[in-house]
Structure 1
Amino acid sequence: MKTEMDVDIDNDLDGKLLQQFSSMGTQDRDVLISEFQKLLNNDLNPSCCSFFLDMNNWNLQAAICSYYDFEQPSSTLPRMMFVSDVTIGEGESIPPNTTFIKTWRIKNGGLETWPPGCCLKFCNGDTMSHVDRVMVDALEPSQMTDVSIQMTSPATKGVYQGQWRMSTPTGVAFGDVIWVIITVDESGLLGVTQQLSRIGNEFVNRIPPQTVLNPFASPDKLPEAVQSSPSPSSSIIVNPGSPVNDLSPAAEGAASSKWLFQSSVRSPSQQQIDNSQDTEMS
């Protein structure tokens, strides 16, 4: 049972809270957005703060209540687990003003699929990128994915670090904080190695595939491009009566090779006849 002293203390706390909100009774919307973020420990981005404030006619107290009413049904946030650094390990050396790709491997460590619209967002440190967020697919439980961001190393030597974290579509951060840590140094080769590797892959992809022809294949099974092109064997001299004379120029080479090969292989009876003819002539 409350005493009169307890009631007075409760009244004093309520009065101080009301006084705190009343002191924020400014009409400057940027100030209201900033105060909204401070009350939520910067877990909500300015656009979402503006949404709740505008929905409540820019009344800060009403906007805070609306936010908690909106978030209360989904009390469990998605879960994200950091798996590994795919590129650019912690502290690796990169030359100044060098573009590189930072890739993390992350995993849905929860029991529910992520809602659509989640993103990986920069939250602290050195950005080193012209974007502050990148969209991530809605991962199913235990599913992994690689997230890449193009960055540029600073112009001054030193150690630089940036922190990134997953965010819900409403701007609420969740999961592990993931890092990018680099050492900017003139002797660094990592960024240059990435660029050379990328150029090499592009060159390989531009090389057209070559068709390997079987020299013993039947002429009707040769590719159309080969059948329509002049045969280099069309200049072979063929004896009259040879079956090669009736062939098309495209098949002449293959057929002539076959005819010449058969004529050079003699049976034992043919060899005996030839030997007897040579004896008579001598």
Structure 2
Amino acid sequence: MADDLPLLVLERLRAIDWNDDSAAYEHANSRALLMREYLRRAAGWARAYRAEESWPFFDIAEHVTPGVRTPSDVATELEAVLTGLAPSSLKKTCRGAVRWAVLRGAGGELPRDLPDDPYEPLLLMYERGGGYFVEEFIDLDGAMLRLGTVESNLSARPFRTLAPATLDALDAEGEITYFARTGEGHPGAGGPRGIVRRRVDDGRTYDEAFTHDLRWEPTDHLRLCEPGHDESGRAGITEIEAAAFIELAVVGTA
């Protein structure tokens, strides 16, 4: 089973359509979150192994266990997959993801105080629309991100809800603001009663609630919480907080 891990990563990379621009735009929101989470995880490993100068797109296993090597047959197949891809840092992360799988398969102890599999968010991002380009910003072909620094990414809020259904629920066109349905005041330890979002796309506003059917449906909740109505029924939340609620809902109906 351990020997299968690099092959599984290789097959995931082989299956990616690196030129699917429509998928990149369709999944722009989730791809941005996944890239941010990769940057955060990679920053943790870079700091722990004094590899800040190599961050962000680097072969982490090379710093953790320099002696680990990708089997020659797997490496040969991987290079065939990577032919024609750009930028070079993207190829480096693909090689790094396979080599990380080799390291995991070797069964050695890894530090428990560092982020989980650093490449998983990046692999998921690739699978949802291909790669990226780096200029002044990271261009995800549908979203633009500031790279930031190792320090700023270390302090970023973790994004751990990586289930496909959760990622899909975060993807929609337009500028999105999320709110918790609170009933009375801000949600307490029990969490929000539900979440709603306001999307503004091409000048039109759409208010939608995430329902028990695990989809977004029109709602009047935000309109009823506007001045002149009950303003206590909502509280602004981040997309990462919204993702956590969505994931709980998905798990609860599984």
TM-score tier after normalising by the smaller chain length: under 0.3
Q: Identify, as 1 or 2, the structure richer in strand.
A: 1
Which of the two has greater helix per residue?
2
